[in-house]
Structures are given as C-alpha cells and as structure tokens.
A and B are shown apart, each in its own frame.
Chain A
C-alpha cells in the first residue's frame, strides 16, 4: 500500500477507538492491529489480556469477558479489562470471533501493603460477562456482594459493556459496507509496512549494546542488557534478582521497555504487530520482572515500571548518547487516608522528569501515565475532613546540571479528623540519577508532623494511625540533571 492508503487505514481504525482511552484490537490469528494506551503496562498487558481471554473462553461474536487479574494480562486490580469478541459477518447464531477488542477501565485504586495479590483486593480471573450479547447477571451480582470491589466498579463495567456493544455494531457495519477493509491481504500489507517504516526510522540511531543496573535494596536489583541491531531491540533482564518489595509480570515489563524506547526515539508510531515484532524482551521467570502468582503487584505495576523505564533509558544512553535521558522520579508516592467517619481519600503525586542533552526535565508530571492532574483542592476539602496547607513544586528536588532535572511536588495536608494512613512507595538505594555529570535528584519522602511539632519520617511502605491536627507531608521525587552544572563564581 502507498503511505497515504496506510494512513487512511490507520485513521479509520483510530476513529473507531476515539471514545476509548486504553484499548486494543487483535485478530484471532494473534496479530495486534491497534493499541491505545495510558500506562506503560498497557502496551504489553492489553494484548495479553485479549489473548488469554480468547484462549480460555473461545470467544464468539458478541461475547464479553471481564478480568482484572494481572496474572491473566491485567495491570492493577482497579483497572478491569473487558474483552469483546467480534465476528465480521452479519449472520445469525453463534459465529467465532475473528477480532478481539479489549478495553480497560481506570477506577480508584486501594493502597494496601500486602504479601499476596489477593490481599491487595478483589481479583477476577477471565469470566464471561456477556454471552452472545446477553448479560450474565450472576457475575455482576457476585461483584456487588463483595465489599473489596473498587467503588463504582459495577456501574463502570455496565456502562463499558454498552460502549463495547456499540463499538461492535459500528465495526461490523464498516466491514460489511466495505468502508473498512480487513482482508488478510490488507492486514498483512499494513503490518508489513509499519514494520518496514519502523526499521527505516530507527536506522538513524546507533547500534550496539548498553547495560544498566538499579539497586532497589541490598538484595534487590534490576539488571538490564540492551542490544540494538538492524532495527531490532533486545532487552535482557538476566541477573535481575527475585523481588522482595517489587514484583511485576513479564507482559508489564515488556510494555515498559517498548514504551520507553518509543518515547526516547520520539516515534509516534502506531502500535501493532508490525512495530512490536521489532522488540524482544527476556525476563527470567521468578525474577522481579517476571514474578509468579500470588505475588502482590500494585507497587511493581505502578512505581516498578518507572524503574524499568529508567533502566532502559540508562542502557540506551550508552548505545547512543544523543538519546540520553536522565532518570525520572521513580515513585508516585501512593497513599490512602481512611477517615474515622468512613471516607477514603486516595492520592498519588506527579514526579520530576529527567533532563536530556538539549532540555531540562519537565516539572511535576505523570511521565508514564497519560493522566492529567485532575485534583481540586476545594472539592477535596469539601468532601474529606482535611485541609491543604500547601501544594507546589518541591524546591531543589530536580538534579542540578547543565540541564536541570524536573521538580517533584511537595504537598502538606492537615487532618481535621482521625484517620488510618496506608502508603506504598519505592525508594531505590540510588536517588534518580543524573547523566554526563548531572546531579541526582531528591528521592520520595513521606513525613508526619504531629500536632505537637514532632516529625516522623515514614518507611517506604506501611500503615499508621493519624490524629486530628496531624499534618501529612508528601514529597515526590525529582528527575536527574544532565551535564555538569555551570560553575558559579561569587
């Protein structure tokens, strides 16, 4: 196909997904045609959840499967995925799905330091939700009856089912009318062209190998060897230790590695099998980047993936210094306040981005989550018994350098009612590293300032009781600087 026909094909599929934030479309032949993501994990896990659901449930046209199980291709328990089977023909009766569409929801998570995934909340393995377009109410009733289900989960799932069935109607109508050509030849040609274009684009970057090592604790480290050759990227995590505090699935690790490469290369490439085939990830079974059931995954699939991104960027910087990107703040400092009166406030903070040879790091961003800060101080103060003391950029939190790292956030909340605090953040032994002489940034910190003025520094994970009048101070990490800071004389 010529480029403009490829563009038309891409635009047609994209428009079908305009109402979805995190979604993918696969063929029943295991080809990913389209992928839209909001987190690094989505890149690897969305196709995985579609594949696993189809493999075990043998999807027919109109079937919808629900899962939030990270060990079946999910991310965190508050992000359930709905997987829809679509047949391309307008025949009545059961027809096998030729296409699999998966869409993921974003609900408010629970911060629950835990030893197993089941202690983190309600885990739903792939379960039939709609059969040939008819609702399976038993599962909805079951979820409703479980107190550990995230708030609003049932309503969100029901609304999403309607959108999925509307998607199916529109998708099929476009195939039947001929507006969307999804013949084997068309798909093959499109995926081939995408792969070809990707190879061509990465030709301008250097080839070679690079390594990185991130120490999270005395016995917990991520080791990575990256190899770039003829437009092919290999990431080998051999030597990575088993997890003690951090656990990730291999599909989430894969997503983090691929997403980081695309960002560093500044390639707004459509994500499909053509492009994905240029990546190979080796994640040793049992290591923290390929953990086994029933390890808890919340921290790994949030902060842990930021560390994978930092490891990938440090390794790529060795291969081609033009691509250098200092480490970004690794932790979003997730915490939860469960007030005595029953209200629950969940929060996570943006971090500072790493600097590059040409640019300073971005301030206060969810670097690896396509979310915007949607917080309202006034609404939160009205809803929860607490008052903001301040929110702003955390002074000097970005690493100094010729290009400074971005700043994290400093936030202080005064409690107007007793509350249980639960928190989880990753605090590697090394602070977010600078590159080429750039300084490291400040790491994450949580503190409690008691009403009597005493201060307590909190460990990376835990629970404690706070009293009315206490202040919770959360300091998110900055990003590393790049290049030696200019010498100033007085």
Chain B
C-alpha cells in the first residue's frame, strides 16, 4: 500500500494528513512540546503501523511538504548570523531603505529590527553600470580578508547584492564561486532577476539567507525520518522540487514557504476570495484565476520570491491588545508568537485576538490548541478582562462580557475592512481551524463569510496537490 500525505510545518504547530484508499488520517500537534520529527514518528507508530518497524509493508507514495517557518523566523528575528556583500559606497543603502514602523510623528521613529550586524556589511570594489557593462571587475583577492573575518566570527551564510547584477551577474558569480569553494552558503541577488529594483532584489536575497540554516536543519531532520519510508527517493516534493533541492538550498526558503499558499490557491481559491484562518496565520487569497506570480510584502520591503498572489492580513490570530489613547484596551499592530502565546494557553500575559475568540460560547478549540488551553489560562484571561472592564479610566465600568463583545465587534470590522480593501468587497470564503469563529464575527460586522472546508484544509490541500501529481 502506498500512502499519500500532506505535511505542513509551522512555527508552533505541525499538521499531517495521510490518505490511502478511503482512509484519511489527520493530526495537528504543538511543536514546542513535540518536535515535528518526533510527532511524525509518533503519528506513524500510532496510526500507520505498516509504515514503520520491522516487517513494514507500506510505503509513502507521495508526500507534499510545506512550511511557514521562513515567515516566522523573520517575524521573530531569530535567523542566523550572516554577512552582506554589496557594491562599495552603498554599504548603508539597505538600512536606509527600510521603512519606518512608527505610524505617527515621533521623537524616535522606529525601523524594523536589523537582521544583520552593520559590522558584517562589506563594500566590495566592483561596478556594473545601468547598461550592464562592467566598469570595475571584482578581484577575488579582496574577498580573502573578508573570509578570515567571517571565520573568526563563525559566520557561514552570505548574501550578495551588487548594483545592476540583474543586467550582468559576472561580479556576483565570481564572488559566489570563490566563497562557495571556501564552504560558505551563498545566495546572490541575480537569482532574483525579475525583481523590479535593487531593494527588492537585495532584500529577497538577505531574507532567504537569514532563514536558510534554520529551515534546512528542520528539513534535514524530517528527511532523516521520511527517507526510509518513501516508495521512491522522489516521493517528497514541495512546489515541484525534491526534498534534497530544498535541503541543499537550491530551492530558497521563501520559495518553499509558498507551497501552502500556492496549493490553497490552486485547490480552493480559484474563483472566490478566500481567507485561510490557520492557528498561526490568517492568509488572504484573491480567488481569481491568476497565473501571474507576485512579490510578497514584508516589514523590510517587497520580497520578490514569486508566489501565487496572497496577503497576510494585519489582523492575525495573535494580534495583541493594549492601550490606545481613547481606551485602556484596543487592538494593536504587533503580533505575539505562541511562545508564550495567548493567555488561555496558561503562559502568556498579553491578551490576543485568539483569547477573545476563545471566550465565545460556540468556540470550538481546534485540535492541537485544545490540548494547550487550560483552566489556569481561562481564569487569568477572565481576571484580565474584568480588570480592563473596571479600569480606573473614568467611565470604563462595563461588564467584562460587554467589553469582550465590543472588542470582537471592532476586530470583526477591522478584518471586514481589510478584506474589502484587499478586493473581497462583498463576501469571502473562509476555511481552516479558526474559520467558524472568524465567520461569526465577520457576520456580526455585516459581512458574508461562508465556511467552506474543515479545519484540516491546509494539509488536505497539500494532499490534493500531491494526488494530482
């Protein structure tokens, strides 16, 4: 028997779906407690005994893999140390192009956290002009000194972004060959030739370099488990590439990260606008039959890793609540991670959108999250909301229930307005673990949201993509 599988590795949740004939098995687990490779092993041992152990008779015929790890690595700023090589004279250019996060005038306008140390940005004597002609050819001897510095600081990942390299990549390629021969992991900006300008090209190179080591480590562990279980070595694929391609870095981390959105787009969002309501992410897909692939938005600027069009909405499951000029509690723009997570998980202290949703009487906690929600967390959330409702603010003395309802009403309106501005002007299909809760608050905001699939849509979508192949 050969199983078809979908596997999605998020930052804190891993989701598996496996199908053979009429049998469909599904599981979601919390990765902070159980590493994906451990959970995967356990899943096989519990549910598909024929795959593992002595005398195993079954194989995995096809496994479609996706991960959102690159997004979370960048959001949490926990990627690897890296060096950046750019054209001499423009070493500050990348920092200068970063957009400010502060939306109002401030004595301290804030830029996004820098992903690399300014000390490891090196200006290299080279120049290609706007027509693509070489004005200064790169001399590899200049890279020697740089290597000794990187070795001293144990930096293995390098992003190279030279001006006009999309027109002529000779200098980037020379640097790439030299550095790869020395054992460094290198991405060059001319890999992303179609990016509209140097900012998009350089940042795409940098963001991929930043995530490369962590993503590859994770994939290697998964690969170690899966390889003996595969019917053929090519049985695992992700956006049309093999697992070795992904692990070696030939497939860039953000290309890998588009596997889920691409499959959702192909399988569920071909006609109508679609909102994937995952535990970790809310992702909007425009739902048109669009063949073009577009850049993605990050806090650092456009990421030109081509994917089917999608948008991560501003309102996310772990969007936090905090003070606002008009009210002691309101939605903020920052997003928490599941470590420490929402208050209902028992460790977090900051209320989130997820916490508010969890108070609704008909809220059904999705698998994976249900096990994490505990009485201590629920009590703490309740105390928290009662404290806000009876805030010392003059007139703020309303029942906690009313406060939560009002906040959910605001949350629903914000999400509704976002969907409208993204193009879903009248209605939207929703699916995923938090879809029923989101459909309810959107409906309260006067917006039609139809739940179209169950909570395991992500891995099922991967499964479908795999079966099509």
Contacts and interface: CB of A to CB of B under 8 A. Distances in A.
Majority SS at the chain B contact face: loop
Given A262-B104, A376-B199, A392-B89, A367 B326 contact: no
A454 interface: no
A391 B89 contact: yes
Contacts of A6: 326-327
A220 B395 CA distance: 50
Interface residues of A, number: 61
Nearest to A38: B105
Contacts of B199: 376
A2 B327 CA distance: 9
A264 B106 CA distance: 7
Interface string B385-411: 000000101111110001100110110
A382 B163 CA distance: 12
A267 interface: yes
B413 A15 contact: yes
A405 interface: no
A388 B96 CA distance: 15
B228 interface: no
Contact of B403 (A4, A11, A259, A260): A4
B326 A10 contact: yes
A7 B106 contact: no
Contact of A364 (B96, B129, B329): B96
B100 A197 contact: no
A474 interface: no
A283 to B, nearest CB: 20
Interface in A264-307: 264, 266-270
Interface string A318-354: 0000000100000000000000000000000010011
B89 A3 contact: no
Contacts of B326: 3, 6-7, 10, 193-194, 197, 270
A269 B199 CA distance: 33
B264 to A, nearest CB: 26
Contacts of A365: 100, 109
A321 B38 CA distance: 57
B222 interface: no
Contacts of A11: 410, 413-414
A381 B107 CA distance: 34
B91 interface: yes
A321 B330 CA distance: 31
A266 B100 contact: no
Contact of B90 (A201, A266, A392): A392
A40 interface: yes
Given A391-B93, A392-B91, A262 B413 contact: no
Interface in B84-135: 89-93, 95-97, 99-100, 103-109, 111, 129-130
B105 A262 contact: yes
Contacts of B105: 40, 259-260, 262-263, 367-368, 370
Given A3-B395, A3-B396, A268-B325, 14 more contacts: A4-B329, A4-B398, A6-B326, A8-B406, A10-B326, A266-B106, A325-B107, A350-B96, A362-B109, A376-B199, A381-B129, A390-B90, A392-B91, A409-B96
28 contacts: A2-B396, A3-B395, A3-B396, A4-B329, A7-B326, A7-B327, A8-B410, A11-B410, A15-B417, A18-B417, A262-B105, A268-B103, A270-B325, A270-B326, A325-B107, A353-B109, A356-B108, A370-B104, A372-B100, A376-B197, A377-B163, A377-B198, A379-B196, A387-B129, A391-B93, A391-B96, A392-B96, A409-B96
Interface of B: 89-93, 95-97, 99-100, 103-109, 111, 129-130, 163-164, 196-199, 324-330, 391, 393-398, 402-403, 406-407, 409-410, 413-414, 417, 421, 446
